[in-house]
Structure 1
Amino acid sequence: MATEQLLGEVTSITVEQVQRIVNKDFSDAQATVVKLTELRNHGFSHTLDSKTYVVDLQTPGTEYPQICCCFITISRPTNGTRTYHDNSLPLAAELLTRIRTQTDIPILESTLDTSLELVPYHYLLSPLSPFSAADIVSLPDARRSGALSTNDTILIDLLLGKFMGQLHSGVQNDWFGRPEPGGAEPPVSSYSWQETFTGLLEDLLAQVEGRGLALPYTDVRGHLSRAIGSFLFDDVEVPALVWFTGSEHDIYLVDPSVEAAKRAPGGIAAILPNIAHALWGDPLLECFMMGAEGEGPTDAFLEGYIGGGGGQLTVFPRQKTKRLWYTFFLGLLVLNKYGVASVEGEEPFVEQKRFWAKEALGKCVEALKDAPCY
């Protein structure tokens, strides 16, 4: 067993702690917490520093539904010291406000609390929603269950594409790189995506190399030099807000098989605030552009994306080479986050992500040998 250890995950929150939060933030609802359900994030957006829960509530009056819920995300007051740091929850809240006010993406107006008075975490609390935890299902689970019709699937792909198009065209910036609190410009600004991306990639590459991951590093750096010399990444003119690690695992639907579906058939119940890795960059970097199995987005997604204001992203062969580098970058991020070797007691999905990352890196290195940069 490897001796390498990861930062421990943020510990759980209790029903009693959540009840105190509900009493403070929903005092007029007089709501009682009846169930607390952790939403297990098995997507690329998972971080060790935060967790999200659905809180089922019971209310006594008629002003609110008798059974309703809210979402609460808790996070460490400070982030870890990994090379690719996560956006803090307060910074994520700022970005979510921009998304909510500058697009039609259904981001709920949530309450951020960083006081640490009620719980030893920062938390982000959503408004009340008229369903319970039992009424919602993640999009991957809905697809696997067969509950979605062909028409439902097309409509959801169109909608997600539209949201991504609105995100990239509606939430933009003057410089590339990681977001800063208050929208401040960093001490050293970058107005070149090639400079920004290759710097981030080289940092992560050095990190996993130091951890002992077996890769042909000389070949990788040679391929990267060729890409830089061909200005492969310099076709991005406007820094867009890129979710990056966001995927279908962050999308929850009202389960079509339950009674609540009558209120919102096939509709999106929540988009979780898992934007710890968001940055200002190239829209092609999105995991949604990779596809669930690396096959790329569906035709319906692309149609929605263009309709939402997004541009054509893979017109030329060189842009497909860029997508290879972005998948390579994602693999490095996964291994930097979880380590290159198994750790005792970790969840099975972590090992699955590690296996995916190592396999993806190998495939990308092989494909990049002859990938066009022109």
Structure 2
Amino acid sequence: MSDQALSIDLDQAQRVVDKHFPHEHRSTVAALIALQDTGYSHTSDIKTYVVDLLKSGSTSAPTTSCFLTIARPTPSVTPYHQSSLPLVAKLLSLIRTNTAIPIRESTLDTSLSLIPFHYLLSPLSPFTSSSIVSLPAARASGQLSDKAQLSIDLLLGAFLGQLHNGVQNDWYGRPTLEDTQTPPSDMGYSWQETFTGCLDELLAHVESDEAAYGMSLPYTDIRQYLSRAIGSFLFDDVEVPSLIWFTGSEDDIYITLPSSSQVKESAEPGTIAAILPNVGHALWGDPLLEAFMMGDTSRVAEGNGPSKAFMEGYVAGGGGPVLVFPRQKTKRIWYSVFLALVVLTKYGPIREGEELWVKEKRKWARETLDVCISALKDAPCY
């Protein structure tokens, strides 16, 4: 990883804005707000800002903004892959052209001529940083009515259904920047082989340095449970490789809240203002692998999946039945194990001076591994 801090200042943001927005929309950067990326999708190589803009010469408050995502030119080497920003831009383009998910066309610049990072710049939006909030924060604020929360669940489910039905591939595994009909050597045409290979690599990585990760897992038992699952062809029921966001979660969704003048009971749902371009961990695979399919994190070892409203939206959006049989719940538990290993290895061994949210994510990963591995002992594979 580069020692250069992943950040830009107001002057650098202004240079980007001056280059990409037409002269008639000439704007001054009034504020540069880094969004807190504390979800499963977090990487140390990508950061997104909201850039609040003033019309040049105006003395009023900002009324527009844009999103500016910066990334290191070369992603860090990590146990689980993370895509470069050009590949992220390609995936976003596939989503935009094959679904109705509201992802606007952004500008990719890899020239390094204005700032020492690759960047992705969104079009102008009619709101500022102070009027949007992450979906978890909106839910916690109490400003969303039950009706609003239900509508959001339906909408998110529909988005995932469109994604899985509309963006598909010929083979399983990590995406590539180059278009190819044949998979790279470490990918393949069998989801079971591809997934279990990735899982085993992560497991071996943690096992080789478990003291640094501060935990010990029952590796022999885990591999025994996995052999039983493979022998029962647990992961071989996936017919078509879909684009899986994988680590995407509500932390990556930003909405505009109802105004304070509205009565809570009659307030319409907040409008989705932005879906952050945090698709660096995406892969071609099984729709059930989505972190959204994990459901309530306090009941992760049950494998029951998300809310009824979410699944209704998912089916309406074109998604297929993913949690019908007991064996599919077992598969979902395995996917939670995989997500926990990705989160654990992404943050690496314990370091002094870590932020609290990093400690919380690592704690979540450890606890999830504990409860899910215990549940897999007697989980049905038939």
Query: Is the shorter-chain TM-score for this pair beyond 0.5, marking a shared fold?
Result: yes
2:231 is aligned, of 229, 232, 245, to: 229
Q: How does 1:331-350 map to 2 (within 5 A)?
A: 331-340=340-349, 342-350=350-358
The 3 A distance-change label for structure 1 pair 11 and 258 is farther
Q: Does the CA-based 8 Å contact 1:78-1:88 persist in structure 2?
A: yes
Q: Does the CA-based 8 Å contact 2:305-2:323 persist in structure 1?
A: no
- The aligned residue for residue 304 of structure 1 is 313
Structure 2 residues without counterparts, runs of 5 or longer: 263-267
2:125 is aligned, of 123, 129, 136, to: 129
1:186 is aligned, of 183, 186, 192, to: 183
Q: Report the Cα distance in structure 1 between the residues aligned to 2:104 and 2:296, rounded to whole angstroms.
A: 26
Q: Does the CA-based 8 Å contact 1:9-1:50 persist in structure 2?
A: no
Q: Report the Cα distance in structure 2 between the residues aligned to 1:108 and 1:183, rounded to whole angstroms.
A: 22
Q: CA offset at residue 248 of structure 1?
A: 0.3
Q: CA offset at residue 82 of structure 1?
A: 1.3
Q: Report the Cα distance in structure 1 between the residues aligned to 2:13 and 2:20, rounded to whole angstroms.
A: 10
Q: Report the Cα distance in structure 2 between the residues aligned to 1:344 and 1:202, rounded to whole angstroms.
A: 29
Structure 1 residue 286 corresponds to structure 2 residue 294: no
Structure 1 residue 79 corresponds to structure 2 residue 75: yes
Q: Report the Cα distance in structure 1 between the residues aligned to 2:117 and 2:261, rounded to whole angstroms.
A: 35
Deviations 1:111-168 (A, max 9, x none): 0000001011000000000000001010000000001011101111100000000000
Work out the percentage of aligned pairs sharing the same amino acid. 61
Deviations 1:176-213 (A, max 9, x none): 00000033343325110000000000010011111214
Deviations 1:85-108 (A, max 9, x none): 201110010000010010000001
- The aligned residue for residue 3 of structure 1 is none
- The aligned residue for residue 278 of structure 2 is 274
Structure 1 residue 144 corresponds to structure 2 residue 140: yes
Q: Does the CA-based 8 Å contact 2:148-2:269 persist in structure 1?
A: no
Structure 1 residue 354 corresponds to structure 2 residue 358: no
Q: Does the CA-based 8 Å contact 1:94-1:182 persist in structure 2?
A: no
Report the secondary structure of 2:274's partner residue.
strand
- The aligned residue for residue 14 of structure 2 is 19
Q: CA offset at residue 291 of structure 1?
A: 1.6
Q: CA offset at residue 259 of structure 1?
A: 8.1
Aligned AA for 1:34? A
RMSD of aligned alpha carbons: 2.0
Equivalent residue pairs, number: 364
Q: How does 1:39-58 map to 2 (within 5 A)?
A: 39-58=35-54
Q: Does the CA-based 8 Å contact 2:52-2:62 persist in structure 1?
A: no
TM-score of the superposed pair, with normalisation by structure 1: 0.93
TM-score of the superposed pair, with normalisation by structure 2: 0.91
- The aligned residue for residue 215 of structure 1 is 217
Q: Does the CA-based 8 Å contact 1:135-1:258 persist in structure 2?
A: no
Q: Does the CA-based 8 Å contact 1:18-1:33 persist in structure 2?
A: yes
Aligned AA for 2:351? V
The 3 A distance-change label for structure 1 pair 352 and 339 is same
1:106 is aligned, of 102, 106, 111, to: 102
Structure 1 residue 373 corresponds to structure 2 residue 377: no
- The aligned residue for residue 322 of structure 1 is 331
The 3 A distance-change label for structure 1 pair 72 and 231 is same
Q: Report the Cα distance in structure 2 between the residues aligned to 1:83 and 1:46, rounded to whole angstroms.
A: 14
Report the secondary structure of 1:183's partner residue.
coil
Q: CA offset at residue 53 of structure 1?
A: 0.5
